[in-house]
Amino acid sequence: MTASRDPDRLLERAGVSGNPDRDQHFLVDERVLDRLPTHLPADVDRSHVLEIGGGTGALTDRLLATCDRVTTIERDPALAEFLRREFDAEIDAGRLTVVHGDALDVTLPDATASVSNLPYGVSSEIAFRLLPLGIPTVLMFQREFAERMAAASGSDEYGRLSVSAGHYADIEVVEPVPPTAFSPPPAVESAIVRTTPRDPDYAVDDEAFFLRFVKALFTQRRKTLRNAVRNTAHISGLADPDAVVAAADESLMSRRAGDVTPDEFAALATLAADVGRGDDDD
């Protein structure tokens, strides 16, 4: 099957033009739209693909041409109704489900992959709903966000986002996308990111504490870890940060968060949980 719907004609039929104030930037470049599904690895299970932000259905059309079944979530009631009219045959055939609702609140389906042009204002929150599902994704982000998501330790872009996303998956920036690919054009460059789920090469006993601990330390990324651990106990939930500093390796405590690898963060978080959380922590 091949996609048959022109993105500009879809905008006309839907009677919309996009609204930057509502974080509405419709992807209309057919070349980018055609490539988006191809960024999923060839061996990925395409039996049920989730799309966040169906819009006028330009990407939905491409997903239906390359996948067995699609669920699209759209928060705008008028656009959700338009999708139901535009794709009534595909819905009747059981190949498309349109969910009206906020992707941050609705129950996500049991999908095998996700390909989405995310609304940028909530892209981080949506990404971290998808990543723990352990499914492959191809997602559109602001380019700066995408590069931080994929950054390696020691680079300028490396931060809490890099460690947190990398905890769940391998992250790759696979294609830059210019503002002209959208209607209306956003004020920023965009990029397509592929995430491939895998277990991290380290172990943590308490994932929630690990992620909270990393978040805390990166709020003080210009400080040494010694000072960052002490200054952010109210964020990480440590009852005795001095005990963590005393028990940790001195050379590690002299470094800054941006130079610490994910496995080193994991080891430090395990130590912090053991000696610094107190008896009343979960």
* Residue 27 assigned as binding residue: yes
* Residue 86 assigned as binding residue: no
* Residue 19 assigned as binding residue: no
Distance, CA of 96 to CA of 52 (rounded, Å): 13
- Tell me 112's DSSP state: S
Beta bridge partners of 149: none
Contact in structure between 18 and 26 (CB atoms under 8 Å): yes
Residue in 262, 35, 46, 27 with CA at minimum distance from that of residue 136: 46
Contact in structure between 66 and 37 (CB atoms under 8 Å): yes
Contacts of 216 (CB under 8 A, 6+ apart): 228, 232, 233, 235, 236
Distance, CA of 236 to CA of 233 (rounded, Å): 5
* Residue 53 assigned as binding residue: yes
* Residue 117 assigned as binding residue: yes
Residue type, 214: V
Binding site members for S-adenosyl-L-methionine: 25, 27, 53, 74, 102, 117
Binding site members: 25, 27, 53, 74, 102, 117
